[in-house]
Chains A and B, each alone.
Chain A
């Protein structure tokens, strides 16, 4: 089903999707880089199967929030629970201890992340990009993982690209491989950090179609993007971040139709009139 088809379904999105229990719980998270307070007491709960779109101006903290969830940045305060893990810490007798690198790595395996610049491994082929982590980290059987990787490549519409190197693919193709690579670890939550921002306009839809497909299959997704079409079509909730905090949090109809915050109105008027 493409994005266009989906908009024809009345009441689409959350209405035809069953949401499960909370799977990402962010409480009062703070993060600063030196004097710069990038996140100020951010709290957010995402339920299983939910698609949350985060937007906001650059520097509003949205990418940092995503990177904190996946422990690519360490938080200065607050709590992040995701996929059953207390991210970055262990709790012992009510006290918190930071985890070691290898322990954080285990937590990260349950979250998938897609980056603005794809960040495929350029020295190995497409199929090796997808199988590397399951084979070398989860120690699964190579033949079995390869079979799954081929399935994933079909799912993202690149069945004939398994032996290509990343450099030989267009940006849109690379991003779809990056999605397949993340999915190969069977993550419980997928995080997208501006997945289409580095793409030429005509390649954006091929990536968004794959993401829409994922959301329809019940994947929990947190997506930082400026693609408001995607937000309308696929999101259960749209969030606006401003100055390191969440200023608007609403279903897409309300977010686009009748937002409460002045910031949202300003943001929408800027982004929709360009």
Chain B
């Protein structure tokens, strides 16, 4: 057996790896934020847009969900220069990941918006809100609650999908592991360390996601949050219903 714990621990805190991990984090966050924006716009176009806008949104979603992210990245970075569009590695990675994410999130956001009770639209119109105001102040904040769990799931996926950007030489975790493996030929140790780093990042995200979910669940709290008055009313009602 040729496994070396020394290499493993050395790689774990190797500067190249740490820089790679950091790149994975910011690449994921930036791509996710842009993807979220694209997703909201695409969902809105699909739900409320004119026929042309709806068609554009449908086409976008169909195209980016229907082709592998790997091909999208390669086309953006190495294919587009043929058309005179030259993008840096970082630009290509962010654009590719965000466009792909947006197509998936559009559907997540659409179902979140549809989950909000119709009475909320009535109520917000009745106090005189315009379409934009009711979307922004009433509908989207409530849709968020439904959207957060699948969104967290998507971000979990994003942290790992960024590894595909290594093929266009984006220096994130995967690429760092590749480079390390080529220096000392400790292939198993290098890639295992990368895997451990992905696990760490995903686990930290899991904890953050729990907190975000708890925050959005607060107004809808558990039964324990029922006020004493409400409980008394309930008890009175039960008493009244009493022995049938």
Q: Which residues of A approach B to under 8 Å, CB–CB?
A: 67, 70-72, 101-102, 105-109, 111-113, 115, 117, 119-125, 132-133, 136-137, 161, 164-173, 178, 181-182, 185, 200-203
Contact = CB atoms under 8 A, between A and B. Distances in A.
B231 to A, nearest CB: 9
Contacts of A109: 127-128
A125 B229 CA distance: 17
B119 A119 contact: yes
B125 A105 contact: yes
B16 interface: no
Contacts of A165: 218-221, 225
Contacts of A112: 126
B141 interface: yes
B210 interface: no
Nearest to B124: A121
B91 interface: no
A113 B145 CA distance: 26
A133 B131 CA distance: 13
Contacts of A101: 130-131
A119 B129 contact: no
A171 B226 CA distance: 12
A70 B121 CA distance: 13
Nearest to B240: A202
Q: Which 6 A-B pairs have the closest CB atoms?
A: A109-B128, A119-B123, A113-B126, A133-B127, A119-B119, A170-B233
A115 B142 CA distance: 19
A121 B131 contact: no
B235 to A, nearest CB: 11
A70 B141 CA distance: 25
B233 A167 contact: no
B244 interface: no
A123 B141 contact: yes
B133 interface: yes
Given A121-B138, A167-B219, A200-B237, A108 B125 contact: yes
